[in-house]
């Protein structure tokens, strides 16, 4: 038996199919303002029945904080400084030399690989890193002497993390040697600050059933947190910065580009840092910024051309924030096309979400969903103009996908899968709209099952991977089959979003979120529901970690893209806030990642 919510007051069946409701524009406010308004009747003569019109929910999302700013970067001309190109080529050679020089020293090589990844420049050395980690994995699996405490905790934990990140399974039993009488971790290792920091980061890659890593996580967190609280003066400023950062966001769960930004800014605190390595990373970071600016310029031009801001006034104007999501998936130059089209798709998903969630009636949405299924705009001629604009924008983007797929010689299967997933997304939105209209609170599992599609991640992943270098029929079939790792990531996206946004959304009549579903089903408080959902998120992370070790046939960069989306959710929805909707919370990060270049010191 379900508990009912009040019926959405703007969800009402029309007297006849051809009636087109009047949209009542929202007041122009820079703040969120929500009212569930009443249905009134239009004055008519006595010979006619009163025909109701609908005052839509008064939801005023804050306007874009960027406006036309990025239009200035929309240009076909290249402004590359030849001196910068030569400098980068020279530095690249020097870094490659450094890497080759570390070949015979495994500890040095591991530290260097870790630095290259943290600095965001490992994509320049993919084959070299792949080969090195493969050799290290073979050494660990073939030489039992590697798994002894004589090798040092930092070395073993770093090797464990880097090899597991690559998708190879190293047993967590290598850490048994650091336990006292095989029961608890030896308190003596707490003196090895770098070691327990590395173990804390390594434990983030644990899978279900790895009790030793569960224990390691508790042990290292307690001791690292204590070090920060007591402000131990014996720890270097660089290590203090790294520990503070990992306690806030472990590296494995951090957005790659943000982690690079933080690491670059702190590495100069390390007296022994390699200036060539750091300056190359800075130069590369600045070069990538210019690419991102140009991509955003092109996307902003497209967005302004659609005139969605005027024609669909109820939708969130969040172009730059949508682009950030694509940057989360991959920051490398090779995925430029995927980022640009993916941002446009993200915007179409966003306005579709707002249409189902904050504007249309159930009857309108049923018709709209059927039109998406048939891919036929003629079926919605009776609907409000704003909904026609939304549909037409989707169709125009579809045309751009067709052209891009032909130009880049990608599988046309991608088109069919995107179309089908778009329909599945619309259906999942419709389910939630009906739940709201009926006042139905689903079970937590029922809500999550629908949320896998309404998270939109399967659709966005199809687009991103389908336009990438690994795209082929087998890979697209796998993604479309909704495997366990994609299901886990999608669920994280849905329930993490709920925790951040449910209070704001429940100010109006709105579908129950996962929080309300837990509270209703288990008769628990809001805080208890949060605790349950956070625990669920941790469990899904362990599922993703395990799947990355099991999916040998899936390219590692594709798996990394999937994990990256979960990382983005952890960042976008942290501290009960939604950085996409409340774009002011994301502004400083955008400025640092895309607009402000990093100063580069001259190597002495």
Average pLDDT score over residue span 35-39? 32
Yes or no: say if 372 and 423 are a contact pair by the CB < 8 Å rule.
yes
Instruction: Count CA atoms closer than 13 A to 140's CA, side-chain side.
Output: 27
Partners of 179 in the β-ladder: 185
- The model's pTM is 0.89
Whether residue 500 is predicted with pLDDT greater than 90 in this model: the reply is yes
Largest alpha-carbon pair distance within the chain? Answer: 95
Confidence of residue 423 (pLDDT cuts 50, 70, 90): very high
Give the Cα separation of 592 and 255 in Å (integer): 14
Whether residue 256 is predicted with pLDDT greater than 80 in this model: the reply is yes
**What's the token pair of residue 144?**
């039992």
Give the Cα separation of 318 and 580 in Å (integer): 7
Yes or no: say if 397 and 33 are a contact pair by the CB < 8 Å rule.
no
User: Phi/psi at 421 (nearest 5 deg)?
Assistant: -70, -30
User: What is the pLDDT of the chain when averaged over all its residues?
Assistant: 88
Give the Cα separation of 390 and 395 in Å (integer): 9
Confidence of residue 147 (pLDDT cuts 50, 70, 90): low
Give the Cα separation of 572 and 457 in Å (integer): 15
Yes or no: say if 356 and 433 are a contact pair by the CB < 8 Å rule.
yes
Closest by alpha carbon to 349, among 452, 432, 456? 456
> What structural domains and CATH numbers belong to the chain?
83-279 (1.50.10.130), 307-576 (1.10.600.10)
The tokens 């709920």 sit on which residue? 498
Q: How do residues 303-349 score in pLDDT, each as one tens digit?
A: 999 999 999 999 999 999 999 999 999 999 999 999 999 999 999 99
* DSSP SS3 for 440: coil
> What is the rounded radius of gyration, in angstroms, for the C-alpha atoms of the chain?
26
Whether residue 210 is predicted with pLDDT greater than 80 in this model: the reply is yes
The tokens 């599922």 sit on which residue? 543
User: Where is pLDDT greater, at 42 or 380?
Assistant: 380
DSSP state of 73: G
Lowest-pLDDT range, 169-178, 232-241, 247-256, 309-318? 232-241
Q: Note the pLDDT of residue 79.
A: 64
Q: What is the distance in angstroms between the CA of the first residue and the CA of the last residue of the chain?
A: 74
* DSSP SS3 for 148: coil
Q: How do residues 560-582 score in pLDDT, each as one tens digit?
A: 999 999 999 999 999 999 999 99
Q: At what angle do helices 556-572 and 484-505 cross, to 10 degrees?
A: 10
Partners of 41 in the β-ladder: 52
Average pLDDT score over residue span 376-387? 96
Average pLDDT score over residue span 470-475? 95
Element (H, E) at 41: strand 40-41
For 331-342, the DSSP string reads -SGGGHHHHHHH
Share of the chain above pLDDT 90, in %: 77
CA dist 89 → 205, 242, 380 (Å): 35, 30, 56
DSSP state of 40: E
**What's the token pair of residue 202?**
């390594």
Lowest-pLDDT range, 9-23, 137-151, 452-466? 9-23
The tokens 């990844």 sit on which residue? 117
Yes or no: say if 183 and 189 are a contact pair by the CB < 8 Å rule.
no
Q: Note the pLDDT of residue 509.
A: 66
Whether residue 29 is predicted with pLDDT greater than 60 in this model: the reply is no
Give the Cα separation of 99 and 384 in Å (integer): 61
Average pLDDT score over residue span 445-473? 96
Residues sharing a CB contact under 8 Å with residue 418, sequence separation 6 or more, in sequence order? 398, 401, 459, 462, 463, 466
Q: Note the pLDDT of residue 43.
A: 37
Give the Cα separation of 185 and 223 in Å (integer): 11
Q: How do residues 511-541 score in pLDDT, each as one tens digit?
A: 899 999 999 999 999 999 999 999 999 999 9
Yes or no: say if 245 and 262 are a contact pair by the CB < 8 Å rule.
yes
The tokens 């039109």 sit on which residue? 371
Q: How do residues 355-366 score in pLDDT, each as one tens digit?
A: 999 899 999 999
For 87-108, the DSSP string reads HHHHHHHHHHHHHHHTTT-HHH
**What's the token pair of residue 32?**
């969120």
* DSSP SS3 for 267: helix
Alpha-carbon dihedral 181, 185, 190, 193, rounded to 10 degrees: 120
Q: How do residues 383-422 score in pLDDT, each as one tens digit?
A: 999 999 999 999 999 999 999 999 998 989 999 999 999 9
Yes or no: say if 197 and 246 are a contact pair by the CB < 8 Å rule.
yes
């Amino acid at each position: 038996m379900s508990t009912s919510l009040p019926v959405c007051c703007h969800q009402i069946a029309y007297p006849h199919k051809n009636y087109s409701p009047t949209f009542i524009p929202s007041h122009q406010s820079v703040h969120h303002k929500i009212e569930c308004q009443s249905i009134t009747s239009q004055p008519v003569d006595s010979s006619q029945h009163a025909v109701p019109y609908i005052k839509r929910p008064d939801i005023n999302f804050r306007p874009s904080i960027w406006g036309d700013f990025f239009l200035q970067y929309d240009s076909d001309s290249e402004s590359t400084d030849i001196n910068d190109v030569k400098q980068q080529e020279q530095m690249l050679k020097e870094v490659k030399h450094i890497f080759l020089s570390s070949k015979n020293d495994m500890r040095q090589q591991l530290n260097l690989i870790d630095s290259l990844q943290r600095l965001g420049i490992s994509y320049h050395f993919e084959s070299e890193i792949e080969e090195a980690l493969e050799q290290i994995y073979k050494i660990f699996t073939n030489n039992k002497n590697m798994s002894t405490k004589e090798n040092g905790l930092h070395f073993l934990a770093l090797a464990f993390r880097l090899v597991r990140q690559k998708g190879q399974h190293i047993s967590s039993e290598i850490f048994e040697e650091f336990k006292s009488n095989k029961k608890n971790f030896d308190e003596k290792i707490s003196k090895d600050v770098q070691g327990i920091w590395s173990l804390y980061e390594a434990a983030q890659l644990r899978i279900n059933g790895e009790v030793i890593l569960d224990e390691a996580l508790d042990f290292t967190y307690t001791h690292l947190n204590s070090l920060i609280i007591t402000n131990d003066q014996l720890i270097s400023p660089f290590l203090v910065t790294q520990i503070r950062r990992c306690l806030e966001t472990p590296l494995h769960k951090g957005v790659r580009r943000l982690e690079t930004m933080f690491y670059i800014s702190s590495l100069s605190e390390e007296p022994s840092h390699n200036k060539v390595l750091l300056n190359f990373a800075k130069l590369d970071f600045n070069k990538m910024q210019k690419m991102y600016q140009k991509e955003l310029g092109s996307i902003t031009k497209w967005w302004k051309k659609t005139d969605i801001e005027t024609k669909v006034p109820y939708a969130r104007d969040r172009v730059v924030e949508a682009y950030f999501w694509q940057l989360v998936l991959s920051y490398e130059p090779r995925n430029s096309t995927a980022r640009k089209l993916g941002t446009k798709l993200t915007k179409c998903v966003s306005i579709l979400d707002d249409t189902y969630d904050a504007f249309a009636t159930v009857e309108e949405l049923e018709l709209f969903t059927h039109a998406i299924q048939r891919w036929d705009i003629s079926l919605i001629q009776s609907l409000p103009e704003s909904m026609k604009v939304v549909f037409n924008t989707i169709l125009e983007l579809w045309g751009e996908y067709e052209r891009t797929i032909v130009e880049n010689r990608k599988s046309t299967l991608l088109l069919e899968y995107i179309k089908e997933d778009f329909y599945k997304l619309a259906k999942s939105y419709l389910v939630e709209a009906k739940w709201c209209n009926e006042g139905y609170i689903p079970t937590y599992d029922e809500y999550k099952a629908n949320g896998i599609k309404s998270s939109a991640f399967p659709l966005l992943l199809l687009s991103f991977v389908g336009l990438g270098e690994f795209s082929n029929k087998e890979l697209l079939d796998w993604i479309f089959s909704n495997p366990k790792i994609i299901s886990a990531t999608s669920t994280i996206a849905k329930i993490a979003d709920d925790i951040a946004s449910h209070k704001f959304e429940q100010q109006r009549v709105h579908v129950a979120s996962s929080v309300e579903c837990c509270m209703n089903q288990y008769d628990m408080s809001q805080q208890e529901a949060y605790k349950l959902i956070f625990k669920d998120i941790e469990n899904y992370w362990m599922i993703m970690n395990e799947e990355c070790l099991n999916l040998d046939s899936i390219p590692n960069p594709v798996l990394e893209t999937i994990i990256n989306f979960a990382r983005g959710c952890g960042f976008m929805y942290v501290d009960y806030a939604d950085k996409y909707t409340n774009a002011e919370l994301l502004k400083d990060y955008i400025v640092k990642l895309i607009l402000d270049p990093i100063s580069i010191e001259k190597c002495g």
